[in-house]
Structure 1
Amino acid sequence: MLDRLPLSTRLAAAIPSGVNLSCYHISTQPVPSAALFSPVPSQPDQATTCESHFLAISSPEDGEKKELLIFAVEILIFATPTLTFIFVSKADSSGFSSRLPSPKNAPSIVATVTSTFIDFLLDSRLHNQKVVVSLFARAQNQYLFPGSSDNSGKHVLDDRQLIKWWSRVLDRTMRHHHHDPAQTSKVVAHLVVPGCDQAETKAFFPPATRQNPISEPKWFSSYPVDLLVQDASQPPRFLIPRLPDDPKARFLDDLDNDFIDNQGQWRSVKSLRDFWEMMSYRQECSAGRLVGFIWMIFSRGQASRLSRPPANQAAPQLTTPEASQVQETLGTEPQLMPGQQVSTTAGLKSPPPSSPVQDSFVDSQNTDDTGLLDSNSFGSEIGTDLAFERDAIESTKGQVVVNTDQYDQLMDFMLQTDFTGEDLAAESTRGWINKILEISKASTIGYQIRGESIVGDSLKPGAGTSIPPPVNVLTNIRKKRKADQEDRTSKPAVNEQTSLPVTVNTLATSLVRKKPKT
């Protein structure tokens, strides 16, 4: 089965033939984390766990060419009793993708690796009642590779291009599972761009949405509140997840510091519509760049709710002039960044830890000396099927599994490197790999991938997309040829009944009078 294939097999089947690369997959065990949603008054926090996954790909050494990191993506997986939340935290390219000899007309290797990695983490968790893949897309020069913005080969996508790119990547994952007869989950996607109304937001939908019948749309320009929470009538404070390094979470914290009454209601924001309208004025959403929030929801037994947008939720209609004025910045390599901004190399500082782990949530009776959850207590902590959860965690773990402190050390080390130019990038790549070996005490790390996908042939399982391009079939339409027109003008008119030429009377120019003007 596809969901049992290891990541190396999936990547090999997805990467074009002739492309070789090295992969490094690091993960953590699930640990207790802060709740995704604020609890309603008089109710405790919902038990939540978080595990981190980091995947980096590099061009292998080839003669005098040293190994260089090409692309990296970080994904956090939150588990609650009612929800599995897969959050794409950060993604970035270093500007050296030209080192990978991708065949002409082949799909983007960065997009292929991203969608394949999401599928790998998603497939074994679709047994849960509800699974959400979420991210926010905000264009910046660099996120994970300091100094990479100075590389001439790096193509920094602008805000609109980045939102459309992520929409296509997630749509590829959606259609891959939608057309799989073995999957019983229903899947839809929602997109919100603060400052854009519904019509403007639809311009960011992937082109493949044109294939969907009008009666069964797959993309909606609204916030999927009915699909994320059980009671959508609560104040907005309890309806929006708090994710790390997310503009929504920072806005929620600011509103909490302003005023909260006994019912959990804010003073200035009374509804979700108000929340998204106010988001369009936030600096992160109004500083001349658009920000896209995307949710892809897999849900079982909710076909009627998934077939239409939420009845009580409308997309924000407010459009700010600052958000609509976008500066175009084009280059040569895609930069894909849904997370927090990283400053330039000079004075670079580490952002807050990617995994929002709080030691106060750790029960000493259920943890070992590394702070990890005891596997025997994991299922009872989040209220899910223990066997399925153990299988999902085991089948998707990285080649190296570290604890959260070690993981944060690796992320901090990455943010202190320098990827300006090939020499510094090669030195930083080697230093980061050695840091993994030092922290994990592993003897080796990484594995080689040899592409097997043949460009132009039918896609193999795990290739990240299984939907062929649409074919437009036009019937009973015949283009008029120039030769036909010439034949008609050169041949004399013939009476079809007598087969005799028809005499055409032509009046002389002197006999034609124009009607006088009145």
Structure 2
Amino acid sequence: MAEATPILRDTLLAALRTLPGTRKFHIHVLQSSPRRNTSLFQFAKPRPRTYVQDVLVLLSEQLGQDAPRVLVTAIEGNLYHVPSTSSAILYVCKVDSTGQTNGTSPTRALVRAFLNYYANPATRPVDARNLWIQLFARAQGQYLFPNSAQFEGKRPLSDVKLCAWWKRVLSQAALDVVDAISLNTPNSPVSSSSTAVQAYYILPGYGQLEAEYSLKVVSPDVTWEYGHPYTMQQSLPCALDTQFRNLGHYIPYFDDDPKSRFLDEIAYTTGGEVKSPVRKRARTATSVEDARQRDNVDDKDSGKEKDDRPLGELGKVTPDEFWERMSFRQECVAGAVTGFFTLDIEGEGQSKPQPQHVAPSPLEPQPGQVSSQINKRVLTALTTGVEFSTAERAIKATETLESTIKRLCEGISTIPNTSRSHSSGRSSTPEPRERSNLTLLVPPSTPPRNIKRAALPDVTPNPFPEPVASLETYQSHIYGSVCVSNPIPEATPQGGGKGDDKESSEVVAPVVTVLTARKKKKRAE
């Protein structure tokens, strides 16, 4: 009997068992059911059918049995699936920590296990031969935990150290994937020899030598290519149209990403050329009928060409020119070092052995998944309803968020009712239901630049209903805990620390040797 594929929650808990110290971790993993997506390659014609899942991981820590829990790390990501090319893209939106941990930060171990779960074909939740892991590294004081930058115990990494941190984590994830495949399936067609892992990174505005000297990350077992992976030699997630190929086939479009904003400007820029309309002559009845016949013929012959023509300058800008111009964007030249990282994992054959019957639909919900509305409500409560500026407020926020997740799985609404006012005999006017639902379901976001030209939503109905969360789903897939009791390693000697954890990395001051200048003695005259 084949072993069951481990779920994401159990994979993350197993990675936390090796952390030093004595403490208890509590984790909540929310994975939404797949839904159609029209924005990933919205400028590609024809547009590939794409599906997306939202992933949110919340990790809290507890020192003792009676001690309060406090959130320490959060991960937000999106998993895109393109069945036509057997490809998937894992976009890491945000990773943040509160600085409330007591000991070694679990952020690195959690992120590493998170990446390995999707990178390993044995545990990948979607049937995709190729996986792309992409992220944009930009140093900020806080990402997901409001006001956590005000907590004195939080020490976020600087811009250069953050890019170096991500390069080390992705390098280790690439090695873990190759080792896991060769260890678990030595005689399988999907082995290390048939799986190629390629790593790319770009620091806009920096040359290759400048980037290598700035990060100072040596990965002898992983070859990092300084550049972008969007070339004809790669198996791109979006199939290229030989006749109407444009930049929208290469660059994926993510929310809150500098590449997406630059794509918008390229797509809706016409070069500044303004032409006057052609002067038309008065038409007679005969000329109008002839013109209609010519228009009908032209529409049949060249209508498809007009519809498939790329917008703006998308058909003229190449991927190389795109990244060259990207280094002049305000988000990349604002004085801080930023980085774009891509891990391309290509395998031969199917990622999982397929049974004889027909494969399930990509829209079919899997066990443990919840509706996208639950993800949105929890993310909205995290980013707008609580704060983490002090230890007391972080404890209260943790209790609020964890209880919200459990109550949503029980089917209990978190919208306050008016039972108290009715019981006291006072009359009150309830808030409109539409307004309450909108404020709780939709997180705040920046509206698109051009609403009229934005991608039209897919109105095709979903044949599968949204999954209904329950206590069984909560206990078997969403919530989990693990007790850690490992010896604390001795302090790292001076100069040996890598400083790759956001909170626990101690910055060791370098030894400075002061040379005293000797005064030159004057010659006796």
Once the two structures are superposed, what CA deviation does each residue of 1:419-468 show, in whole Å capped at 9, x if it has no partner? 11011111111111121122221556632212377778xxxxxxxxxxxx
Q: CA deviation at 1:9?
A: 5.0
Partner of 1:150: 150
Partner of 1:194: 204
Alignment match, 2:119: 122
Distance 2:374 2:358 in 1: 23
- Identity among equivalent positions (%) equals 22
Question: Which residue is 1:257 aligned to?
Answer: 268
Determine if contact 2:27/2:58 at 8 Å carries over to the other structure: yes
CA distance in 2, matches of 1:72, 1:429: 12
Q: Does 1:218 align with 2:223?
A: yes
1:168 and 1:267, CA in 2 relative to 1: closer, same or farther beyond 3 A? same
Q: Does structure 2 conserve the Cα–Cα contact (< 8 Å) formed by 1:85 and 1:131?
A: yes
| Pairwise CA distance, 1:19 | 3.8
Change (3 A) 1:378 1:152: farther
- What are the within-5 Å matches in structure 2 for residues 53-202 of structure 1? 53-60=55-62, 62=64, 65-81=67-83, 82=85, 83-97=87-101, 99=102, 101-102=103-104, 108-123=105-120, 124-125=123-124, 128-180=128-180, 181=182, 182=185, 183-184=191-192, 185-202=195-212
Structure 1 residue 158, shift from structure 2 partner: 1.4
Alpha-carbon distance, 1:204 to partner:
5.9
Q: Which amino acid aligns with 1:201?
A: A
Paired position in structure 2 for 1:410: 378
2:463 corresponds to: none
Q: Counterpart amino acid of 1:52?
A: D
- The aligned amino acid for 2:164 is K
Q: Any residues of structure 2 matched to 1:280-359 within 5 Å, and which?
A: 280-301=327-348
TM-score normalised by the chain length of structure 2 = 0.61
Q: Do the aligned partners of residues 162 and 12 (structure 1) sit closer, same or farther apart at CA in structure 2, a change above 3 Å counting? A: closer
Q: Identify which range, 272-281 or 427-436, moves more after superposition.
A: 272-281
Q: Kindly indicate whether the alpha-carbon contact (under 8 Å) linking 1:12 and 1:453 is maintained by their aligned counterparts in 2.
A: no
- Root mean square deviation, CA, Å: 3.2
Give distance in 2, aligned partners of 1:2 and 1:201.
43
Using the alignment, how far apart are the partners of 2:168 and 2:82 within structure 1? 28
Residue 52 of structure 2 is matched in structure 1 by 50
How far apart are residue 141 of structure 1 and its match?
A: 1.1
Matched, 1:419 2:388: yes
Distance between the aligned counterparts of 1:65 and 1:122, measured in 2? 36
Change (3 A) 1:263 1:414: same
Answer yes or no: is the 8 Å Cα contact 2:54–2:77 preserved in 1: yes
Partner residue of 2:417?
none
**Of 179-188 and 6-15, the range deviating more from structure 2:** 6-15
Counterpart position of 1:507: none
Residue identity opposite 2:205 in structure 1:
G
Change (3 A) 1:2 1:17: farther
Taking a change above 3 Å as real, the CA distance of residues 299 and 8 of structure 1, as seen in their structure-2 partners, is: closer
Q: What does the per-residue CA deviation read over 1:363-417, in whole Å, with 9 as the maximum and x for residues that have no partner?
A: xxxxxxxxxxxxx9984558xxx9xxx8xx55xx5xxx42112211111110121
Shift of 1:60: 1.9
Bigger shift: residues 196-205 or 173-182:
196-205
Aligned-partner SS, 2:22: coil
Distance 1:190 1:427, change over 3 A: same
Task: Tell me by how many angstroms 1:159 deviates.
Answer: 1.1
Amino acid at match of 1:253: D
Of 398, 407, 411 in structure 2, the residue corresponding to residue 438 of structure 1 is 407
Structure 1 Cα separation of the partners of residues 43 and 113 of structure 2: 34
Hey, what does 1:246 align to over in structure 2?
A: 257
Q: Secondary structure at the match of 2:27?
A: strand
Query: Is residue 323 of structure 2 the alignment partner of residue 276 of structure 1?
Result: yes
* Matched residue count: 357
What is the CA distance between 1:56 and its match in structure 2? 1.2
Letter in 2 for 1:34: T
